[in-house]
Structure 1
Amino acid sequence: MKRALLCSAMALLLVANAPAADYDVVIRGGRVLDGAGNPWVRADVAIKGGRVVQVGQVAGHGAKEIDAKGRYVSPGFIDMMDQSGGVLLKNGAAENKLRMGVTTVIAGEGGTPVEAAQIPSYFAQLEKQGISVNFGSYYSTTQARMKAMGDGAGNPTPAQMDIMRKEVRTAMEAGAFGVTSALIYPPSSFATTADLISMAKVSAQCGGFYATHMRDESGDLVKAVNEAIEIGETSGAKVEIFHLKAAFAPGWGKLMPEAIAAVNAARARGVDVAADLYPYTAGGTGLEIIAPSWVWADGVQKGIERLKDPKLRERMKKEVAAGSMPGWSNLVQASGGFGNVILANGFSQKYAPYHGQSLEKIGAALKRDPADVAWDILLEGLPNRSVALYFMMNEGDIETALHQPWVSIGSDAAASEKFGEMDALGLPHPRAYGTFPRIIAEYVKRRPVLSLEDAVRKMTGWPAQRMGLTDRGLIRDGMRADIVIFDLERLDDVASWAKPTAAPTGIDTVLVNGVVTIEDGKHSGAKAGAVLRHGCGG
């Protein structure tokens, strides 16, 4: 007993006399990729107060020491097209994002989950509850439009446009990074180029963005790219093209090079335009896109009534068969037919057995026209948004886009409220669990499309510079310590069409603002993420 007490006393004495840690964390002996595209160097990384304070041979010791020998140490990945604005209020863990190595997300394709005037309290609530990733958001031009004139078609009056610009200004002063549009979806699709320029000018006054899900990503892709460029060039706003794709089977191999040429020409004359993408051949969105835009011209409720009208359905089916028309992107045509449109989530027990099947096969089984099946499922699933996978892209075009130095990566997916389940959009698409590791696993390891250094640059240093996050995206002295440590040999995206929520492998450690948040492949419970606000002076 006396001997045990003596040992305990000696142990306490050694702890008491132990030198204080020089750093909060020291990552030892990893292959450090700085995020700027430079070749890796073997180095230690010392972190204190949430920032990198030394890169090189670190003599001091950390309160926490991480052995990174044989692994790569990279800045945390930045998701340039996130959809987590609402779910983070319910659960700030964002584990599916972190497990991909993502430490910062930029949301807001559909805007903020609150009105412009409520953005400060929304941000404050996120900070009070705590989030595990850094979070920034755009504000939607459609939010401003609905505030001023509801969800129907039509041109705004001068007074309504004044309301819209004021809403944008309020959002920008609250910290939004810019304004967005989603121009294939009503009522966003009802906005004219002139409307968008007017609102983008307000964003530009704050050095902000016009970020867009373009009016067409199919046969009129190049026309849509040129519209986005025109909006930026006229307004002065920086242009971000969301999920760049050539979603039109007849135009594979042709449209993407033409779109890239349009962007390069604009950049050559000084337009600040760039794009992001997700590395998959299918997009995912609601079944409502299968209905022509005129169906929704008088608002959602009227559109639902029209979908129930057998006579109007006959007209709609003829238009679906005819292809796209002005103001409407026909994603059935873009996919090459209903056989390439896969029901992902119908939000009803009635259609649950058909999940994973094409609308063509479901129609055959039910002896119904596939278009009728789509609209029946949509109505049955209300008030939820029934969703499908639209196989519209090909790998050759993805590779062509990835080669562009101005292309970054965005998942177009939300955090999952519960890890291992679908993201908050209710869409079982592998991009929610696999996007960022897939960039390395598929396009660096499995086929030589990108070098490792450039792949990391596209996910770190470049998007940070793009978004004006001057203290993130690089591993250098003074930068915020958002860091991912990965084993290149083990790194794999794993998530597939058959198993879209499978977790990636090879990413075992992730730090957010210097705090270990993924450790040994599991969420530590830390909520060290920050709300990122874009400044707006004057």
Structure 2
Amino acid sequence: MKRTLLWAGVSMLFAANAAAADYDLVIRGGRVLDGAGNPWVRADVAVKEGRVVQVGQVPGQGTREIDATGRYVSPGFIDMMDQSGAALLKDGAAENKLRMGVTTLIGGEGGPPVPAAGMPGYFKQLETQGIAVNFGTYYSSTQARVHVMGDAAGAPTPKQLEAMGEQVKMAMEAGAFGISSALIYAPSSFQSTSDLISLAKVAAQCDGFYATHMRDESEGVVKAIEEAIEIGEKGGVKVEIFHLKAAYAPEWGKLMPQALATITAARDRGVDVAADLYPYTAGGTGLEIIAPSWVWADGLEKGIERVRDPKVRERMKKEVAAGSMPGWSNLVHASGGFQNVRLANSFSEKYRRFHGKTLAEIGAELNLDPADAAWDIALEGLPNRAVALYFMISEADVQLALRQPWVSIGSDAAAAVNYGSDGAIGLPHPRAYGTFPRILAEYVKRRQVLTLEDAVRKMTSWPAQRMGLSDRGLIREGMRADIVLFDLDTLDDVASWDAPAGAPTGIDTVIVNGVVSFEDGKHTGARAGSALRHPCRTR
């Protein structure tokens, strides 16, 4: 009886305290960066029912109070080019994203891991299982093409193109932000400009985007930008250029200024075009890109057969040595040679000992042409996709692009299914663990390329405005309470080429929709994220 009375008293005390609290959460005394580019102000931030309800001096009490003295309080970061569509189905924790201060992901070039008809169920499944971050996605134009006509080359008939448009319409009505493409890869590379304009017109009916991994990010980057802009203008859609780069070592310092001038000129005449980037000098992708696009013209199965054929390889090697050709970006040439392409993950015990070595080194050790070594490794790793790091980007070009006010940040990386691993796509690239803290540590603190306020703007209010997320990206009354607390003095990205899964330091609290999801170096287990659906407001 006494024990029952004791517990009843404790319950009443907790109930009274909860009733007395004015807010769910109050963050006290931090340096608040509103996300709009304004200088910080010392203020409290009160949160209730998932939204910011007061900024300034907050006299009331929160059920939970956080002392932010000496730390910055910022809106949560938005990853504009994410690859987590499939990973979140396996594990919604997204710990590598949270540790970077990222609270919202926009799934990029590959589209969702379901067909257009499956998107409503996909979003519902994410919400039912629970995800720790907010997630929205594009629908890939390649998904529509493969659904209608398979993975081989060839021009669609008018009827097939109409059927592709029906898939795009279905995806847009389900909440896709637009269509995306990855024109450097087959079968996406088989899509023509006119095909993409037709599909963009369908996305335009819902005020959508055309977002693209362009046809060429190397020697032909300016022409590729012009193509993307043409698709936007003629299709009536906004254009987002994924992971902007001038990935061509022979013309570092020349192509990037031309690329930026092309985008700026289009913006000046009213084209809604912008770009995102990741702050690293190497890209990461599969070894299959070393094979010219014609190899895959009859589909994946036939392409694998060709790669196995020694006679076909002789032709392939001549073309790799010759440089890029129409419809194919030669990333070996863009990187300045096999000595600048590093094997990242072979998915093979046979070749595991070569991880981290360049293809030139591997070829020498195996007494093979480096191209043969690459293709042997790719075949051995099947059905997985063996991947490499292509060091083809100039640091000076990264900095020049980063200074543009219309450039945001995208990791081009997935949420880790198992924290500390290479991620869902098996690519050990530091961008999966370091992209967003690197912007602050490297380009605000160490290199002073950006001011703190502008760096935060690029990762918060600008991408939110760009994507139409009108209730995110700012710390203001009425906004969703996606918030990150960080100590700029101790903040560091840590992840490196040799240790790509290094955990960043200095980011100690991350709040998603008003729920503390990461603190004191640990994931809290919260799954407070939402599936973000682009509203189909027909014109």
Q: How does 1:11-410 map to 2 (within 5 A)?
A: 15=14, 17-18=16-17, 20-410=20-410
Measured in 1, the distance between the counterparts of 2:81 and 2:108 equals: 8
Measured in 2, the distance between the counterparts of 1:251 and 1:178 equals: 33
Query: What amino acid is the match of 1:420?
Result: G
Gap change, CA 1:252 and 1:125, over 3 Å in 2: same
Task: Say which SS state the counterpart of residue 404 (structure 1) adopts.
Answer: coil
Task: Say which SS state the counterpart of residue 534 (structure 1) adopts.
Answer: coil
Measured in 1, the distance between the counterparts of 2:66 and 2:210 equals: 41
State the partner residue of 2:441.
Answer: 441
Measured in 2, the distance between the counterparts of 1:149 and 1:90 equals: 29
Measured in 1, the distance between the counterparts of 2:235 and 2:318 equals: 39
The size of the alignment, in residue pairs, is 536
Query: Does residue 481 of structure 1 match 2:487?
Result: no
Shift of 1:17: 4.9
State the partner residue of 2:516.
Answer: 516
Query: What amino acid is the match of 1:313?
Result: R
Shift of 1:245: 0.3
Query: What amino acid is the match of 1:243?
Result: H
Shift of 1:15: 4.9
Measured in 2, the distance between the counterparts of 1:137 and 1:51 equals: 23
Measured in 2, the distance between the counterparts of 1:456 and 1:106 equals: 18
Task: Say which SS state the counterpart of residue 20 (structure 2) adopts.
Answer: coil
Measured in 2, the distance between the counterparts of 1:273 and 1:406 equals: 9
Query: Does residue 429 of structure 1 match 2:429?
Result: yes
Measured in 1, the distance between the counterparts of 2:99 and 2:512 equals: 12
Task: Say which SS state the counterpart of residue 418 (structure 1) adopts.
Answer: coil
Shift of 1:11: 7.0
Task: Say which SS state the counterpart of residue 332 (structure 1) adopts.
Answer: helix
Q: TM-score, normalised by structure 2?
A: 0.98
**Unaligned 5+ residue runs, structure 2?**
none
Task: Say which SS state the counterpart of residue 89 (structure 1) adopts.
Answer: helix
Query: What amino acid is the match of 1:194?
Result: S
Gap change, CA 1:266 and 1:20, over 3 Å in 2: same
Shift of 1:108: 3.1
**Unaligned 5+ residue runs, structure 1?**
none
Shift of 1:112: 1.1
Shift of 1:519: 1.4
Gap change, CA 1:17 and 1:480, over 3 Å in 2: closer
Report % sequence identity. 75
Query: What amino acid is the match of 1:338?
Result: F
Measured in 1, the distance between the counterparts of 2:293 and 2:369 equals: 20
Measured in 2, the distance between the counterparts of 1:379 and 1:8 equals: 65
Measured in 2, the distance between the counterparts of 1:220 and 1:381 equals: 31
Q: Note the aligned Cα RMSD (angstroms).
A: 1.5
Query: What amino acid is the match of 2:140?
Result: S
Shift of 1:257: 0.5
Deviations, residues 467-516 of structure 1 (Å, cap 9, x unaligned): 00000000000000000000000100000000000100000100000000
Measured in 2, the distance between the counterparts of 1:174 and 1:13 equals: 46
Shift of 1:422: 1.1
Query: What amino acid is the match of 1:196?
Result: L
Measured in 1, the distance between the counterparts of 2:156 and 2:4 equals: 82
Gap change, CA 1:206 and 1:17, over 3 Å in 2: closer
Deviations, residues 38-68 of structure 1 (Å, cap 9, x unaligned): 0000000000000000000000000000000
Shift of 1:111: 1.1
Shift of 1:537: 3.2
Gap change, CA 1:135 and 1:15, over 3 Å in 2: closer
Query: What amino acid is the match of 2:243?
Result: H
Deviations, residues 320-372 of structure 1 (Å, cap 9, x unaligned): 00000000000000000000000000000000000000000000000000000
Shift of 1:317: 0.2
Shift of 1:204: 1.0
Measured in 1, the distance between the counterparts of 2:503 and 2:217 equals: 30
Measured in 1, the distance between the counterparts of 2:7 and 2:51 equals: 36
Measured in 1, the distance between the counterparts of 2:155 and 2:396 equals: 40
Task: Say which SS state the counterpart of residue 136 (structure 1) adopts.
Answer: strand
